């Protein structure tokens, strides 16, 4: 995998867990990715509140796609090697918006920050940071 643009990211987003959850990629460019997720009952925990895994998956997916839109020269892919999430609130229905930004873009690693908000109110729901190991041919 080399550096991908918005349309290529949307194609790979049609499979796997991001597609199953319904994550939509809105904007992608070097150092930035914007995504959204319309909530449905499958995104909730058994207690009826938003499942933390839904938030982590949205953020990790957004940062991962941001990474492939920002690969350094010769980079062929990435692997998430660390992640951290702070949950600030919950939402029972509506739309989540996730904005992922590149905090550090090195040759061997990238560090991404993501914030997830209630699309309608702008209220913050989660903060996320992850480190991506950049892969090269032969790794």
Identify the CATH class of 6-136.
alpha beta
Q: Which among 37, 90, 40 is positioned nearest to 59, based on CA atoms?
A: 37
Digit-coded pLDDT (tens) for 37-66: 999 999 999 999 999 999 999 999 999 999
Residue 139 has pLDDT above 90, yes or no: no
Q: For the chain, what is the HEC assignment?
A: CCCCCHHHHHHHCCCHHHHHHCCEEEEEECCEEEEEEECCHHHECCCCCECHHHHHHHHHHHHHHHHHCCCCCCEEEEEEEEEEEEECCCCCCCEEEEEEEEEEECCCEEEEEEEEEECCCCCEEEEEEEEEEEEECCC
Residue 138 has pLDDT above 90, yes or no: no
Q: Cβ of 5: how many Cβ atoms within 10 Å?
A: 12
Going by pLDDT thresholds of 50, 70 and 90, the confidence category of residue 1 is: low
The whole-model pTM stands at: 0.94
- Domains of the chain, by residue range, sit at 6-136
Residue 127 has pLDDT above 80, yes or no: yes
Digit-coded pLDDT (tens) for 78-100: 999 999 999 999 999 999 999 99
pLDDT of residue 42: 96
Q: How far is CA 31 from CA 15, 53, 138, in A?
A: 23, 24, 25
Q: Mean pLDDT, to the nearest integer, of 106-118?
A: 98
Residue 3 has pLDDT above 90, yes or no: no
- Mean residue pLDDT of the chain comes to 96
């Amino acid at each position: 995998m080399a550096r991908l643009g918005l349309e290529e990211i949307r194609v790979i987003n049609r499979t796997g867990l991001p597609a199953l959850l319904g994550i939509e990629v809105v904007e992608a460019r070097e150092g930035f990715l914007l995504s959204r997720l319309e909530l449905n009952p499958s995104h909730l925990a058994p207690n009826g509140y938003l499942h933390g895994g839904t938030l982590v998956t949205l953020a990790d997916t957004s940062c991962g796609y941001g990474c492939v839109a920002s690969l350094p020269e010769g980079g062929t892919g990435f692997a998430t090697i660390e992640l951290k999430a702070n949950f600030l609130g919950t939402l029972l229905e509506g739309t989540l918006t996730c904005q992922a930004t590149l905090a550090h873009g090195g040759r061997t690693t990238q560090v991404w920050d993501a914030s997830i908000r209630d699309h309608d109110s702008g209220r913050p729901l989660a903060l996320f940071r992850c480190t991506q190991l950049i892969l090269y041919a032969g790794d």
